[in-house]
Structure formats: C-alpha cells, structure tokens
Amino acid sequence: MKTDSTTWSTEESADIYGIKNWGADYFSVSDAGEVIVHPHGNGIGVSLRKIVDGLTDRGLDMPVLLRFSDILDSRIKLLHEGFGRAIKDFEYQGHYRGVYPIKVNQQQQVLEEITEFGARYHHGLEAGSKPELIAALSYMHDPEAYLICNGYKDEEFVELGLYACKMGLQCIFVVETPSELELIIDRSKTLDIAPNIGVRLKLSTQASGHWNHSGGERSVFGLNPSQVCDLVDRLKEVDMLDCLQLLHYHVGSQIPNIRDIREAVVEACRVYIGLVNEGAPMGILDLGGGLAVDYDGSHGDTEASRNYNLDEYCVAIVENLASTLAESEVPHPDIVTESGRATVAYYSVLLFNILDESRFEISDLPTELPENAHELLHNLMAVVKVVSLRNAQECFHDAFYYRDEIHERFKRGTMTLRDRALAGSIFWHIITRVAKLTEQMDYIPNELRKLPAMLADIYYGNFSLFQSLPDVWAIDQLFPVMPIHRLDEKPTREVVVADITCDCDGKIDRFVGQHTTRDSLPLHNLTDEEYYLGVFLVGAYQETLGDLHNLLGDTNVITVEVDREGHLNYSRELEGDSVADVLSYVEYDPKNMIRRIRKLAETAVRNDAISAKDRRHIMDAFESGMRGYTYFER
C-alpha cells in the first residue's frame, strides 16, 4: 500500500539514498520506484525487483548475491581506455597493462571472467600465495599479459613460477624481503631457467586513508633504497642483473587523495631511473593498487571516497611519469596498476528480505505524577512542559542530567523500580520532542544529530553481516544500502538494520547520506509484501573474508547478464551452503550426527516419551534441516 505517493517523487528517493552519486551510471531509480541496474553503464537496464521475482519464481530464497558480468567487463574496459587516452594525449611511449590481484575476490567465476574480458587488453593477474599462483596459471595463458608474484615465496612457489616462464608466460617474481632473492637465484640456476625479477620499494610517500600503513618507510613489505642497492649488487655478482625488469610499490588499497598518487609516482620514477642507470634493463613500473571506490558518493578526500575520477587518475600517473622521465634518456616503461577494488566492487550486489521489526515505542506520558513522586521526577516532568525550538538543546541536557541522577539513586536503593520506569518514559518523551524540533533548525548541534539513531527502529534482515559484509564489522567499511523497490513512496521510518546472528555487532548502523554519513536509514513501513534491501559495491574482499558466525554459510549466488536489447539471462546459479555443508566445515560428520539423533529418538521411543510415528517425523525434520539453507526460508 502506497503512502504519500502524490507528494513524493522517485527523484527525492534517489537524493535520500545518494544513488546518483555512488551509482557510477550502473544504478538508477525508475519512475516505477525500483532500482535499475545498467550493466553496460547508462543505456539499457533491468529492475532489481524483476530479477528478484525471477529468482523466487525459480525457487531460490533470499539472501542472494547478484554478480553482473557485464559490469565487470565494463570496469576492465574503462580502466584500459582511460589509460589509453592519457598515453595518447601525453605521447607516452610505454603501454598500459592492468593486473588483477586475486586476493580481492578469489572466486573461480571472477578469475575466469577477468581473464576472459581482459584478454583483448592483455590484462594480467597478481598472485600473493601458492594457491593463487596455481589458480592464475590455470586460467591465464596470455604470453603478453603480466603475472606478478608478490608475497612470501617458498621453493615450490618459485619453481612453479619458473616453469611458467619456461612455458612462455611473463611471470615476474617481486622480491618483498632481502632473503627471497637468494631463493630465486638458487632455484633458477638449479632448473636452468632465467627468472624475471622485480623488487618492491618502500616509498617515503605515505597516503592518507584507512590503508595508509601499506606505504611509508616503516611498511611491512618491501625493500628500502639501501636494500634495493644491495639487491642490484648481488645480481651483478651472479651475472643476473639482466633479469631485473620491474619496480613495484604499493601505498594503499583505497587512496582518497590524488596528491598522494602523484607524489608516489614521482618518487618511484626517480628510483626507476636510478635502477636503469645501474645497468638493469627494467621496462615495467608497477604502481600497485590504490584506485579508490567512491562508496559514499561524496567525491571527497575521505576514507569512503576519492577526490578524483578515473580519467584524472590515469592522467595523474601518465603525466607525472612522462614529465619526470623527460629529464633523462630512460625509455618509458610499461605501466602496471593492480586495481582490484575498483575493478570488482561494482560487480556484486547483496540482496536480502526483511523478516521482522522492533519499533521504538514509549509509554504514554502521565497527566500527573503520583503524590509521593521524587523531586527529580517532578524536575524531569517540568522539562517536558517547556521544550521548544528556542531551548531544545538545554532541555536535551537537562533530560540526561535528571535521568542519570535517578539511575544513580535507583542503584543505591533510594528510588523504586516504578520510579525508574516512569523516569524512562518521561525522558524519551523529551528526547522525541527535541528530535522532532531538529527538523526546523537551520543548524543542528552535533550532539543532537545522533537523535535519529537513538530513536531508530530495528529491521531484522535475512543475512549474516559476518558472512556477507565482514568489513562493516571489522573496519567500519561504508557500503551504500537502500530499498530496491517502493521508491515512489516516502520512507517514514528511521531504521538500523540488524542481521539474524545472535550478536549485538551484527548490524549496520552507518549509512550513506545526502551530504554526510548517517546513523540510521530512512525506510518504509513493512506490509504483507516482502520488503527487499540491497547492499551495493560489495564485490571486493567481502566474499573471501566472510566467516561462519552462527554457522551461517555462503549465500546463493546468481550471475546476471543483460544484453544490449535489455534481455535478461541468469547465466550461472550457485546454491548457498546447506546446514550439512557448514557443519562439515567445522569438522562435524553429518552422517554421524544423524545416527546420534536417531539413537536419541529410539531411546525416547523405548521410554514411551514419543511414539514410533513421532520418531519418523522427528528424523524427517532433522534430515530436512540438514539439507536446508542456513538462512531463513519461507
């Protein structure tokens, strides 16, 4: 049932949820009040609600992770075309070679599609472990793409990479610690295979943002300039300096300020020139990751945003390289970036339904206090009667003061339980009135801006934060959250979204706002119709980092393709974990568990606690539960 549809527009919904700011042309709101995904960027789109209806008709339950292959294809295309334009404009002589860091999202489908979509650009891969290297070798067979090997390396890791070189792949070992060089030298001589060597540099430049510890002179990985010189000397000693081809650095996963990107490029370029002057052939400069995603749509220098766009990022890198190299006769190197987050973030959307709600409700305000009421209760009641726009902040402070005094007296036994209950009711009436008055304020004091969150209702979503959105809990990552339908109706509830884990941390209470973050989300009243929320830009890191909190497993995963005519195709369907699956992950044997329950039930039959027919129903329910989805099923 619609409310306020005559006075509320979908444009207003788009503004509230900021979709025009963070949607990057991939997401919009239709006139029918539904979120539309445009997998190719602008142009043809399809309603997320239509996709959900198609899934439920096919018998799939919420929650579900949607993957949009066409968005992944678009992201790779935009990245290469952006660098292509900058290279042409500045007459840069090297090539751009994108590289995808597998750790950002290691799912098989992601890796397969990146190598498929990136083939026309010779888009490569970065492996930071032996399993990732094996996965990369299985899917990337392009002799012109780079396979960058970062991270710690043992003999087996190095030998696999050397065999890749022998088979014609451009596999490059990046030396992260001084000890790794000797291992590479030893195995290459033993196998008689010339290695391609790179070195990771610790820059003095340190970026701002959440992951700034990745850069700087005290970063965990990489060699300082003195150690880089030692590496050069050692390669000269063993007559292998001709193997040194790449300089790599990494100053952060999400760099919000373009200035930091420029400064890092210039510093690394100086070191690159120095290595060429030492006699190393070089040829590749790997800038690592850092291309940020504008999660909150603010286009600002914040942890959840960036103050540049893709074209400005490409220009900043190419322009600074070209101008710095112009002072020397050093040939222009190929440019490599490991832009994983920006490549896959837009690729995935988490959808879930709301199961239940908990409303913020307060008792009716008494018309008068009991005759023997404590003086503090009278004082609190007096505040209620004088709340106005002029003194709202003062009343806010008074309410907290009197309530806290009453709590202290209750703890000491000088006030009764009913006194405390009455104080709570009066207190929340004051806070609710002050919150309402903030809507009329030209300037809202900081302490009053938290009131909507204090008064927010709770909507319980059919998902696990720890499985599907672990960064929300672990590092306060901000993701856009909004309803995918009913956007032609005015949202009338302020809400915090909780998951179905029995954990107080299992909630989303920071949201993208119009101009800043907010502590509650405007949502609609629940009706008999299912209410669906989407969490957007979740393609980077969330799937692999998810855990089994409360033994809630992987969600259903559906790959959606939309052709240029708008035809919808569900191209891949991966069923989420069953209860038996997740129990086996934590070392239970489902068959043994069924035997144990069967024994328990049979004992109950012998003791006349249940009938034989009851036993059959119990075992059917137990075995059905084992096969079922770990999430709530309708």
422 CB-near residues (< 8 Å, 6+ apart): 366, 369, 373, 377
The whole-angstrom separation of Cα 580 and Cα 592 is 11
Chain position carrying tokens 């069953």: 578
The whole-angstrom separation of Cα 273 and Cα 329 is 9
Q: 452: how many CB neighbours lie within 10 A of its CB?
A: 18
The whole-angstrom separation of Cα 131 and Cα 126 is 12
With H, G, I as helix, E, B as strand and everything else as coil, classify residue 464.
coil
Q: Find out whether 301 and 257 touch, Cβ atoms under 8 Å.
A: yes
With H, G, I as helix, E, B as strand and everything else as coil, classify residue 410.
helix
CA dihedral of residues 507, 513, 517, 518 (deg, nearest 10)? -50
With H, G, I as helix, E, B as strand and everything else as coil, classify residue 523.
strand
Under DSSP, the state recorded for 204 is: S
Chain position carrying tokens 């142009």: 43
Going by C-alpha positions, the residue among 115, 569, 47 that lies closest to residue 343 is 115
The Cα-based distances of 79 to 76, 222, 340, 542 in angstroms read 5, 26, 11, 22
Q: Find out whether 210 and 200 touch, Cβ atoms under 8 Å.
A: no
What is the amino acid identity at position 512?
A: V
Active site residues: 502
Q: Find out whether 113 and 69 touch, Cβ atoms under 8 Å.
A: yes
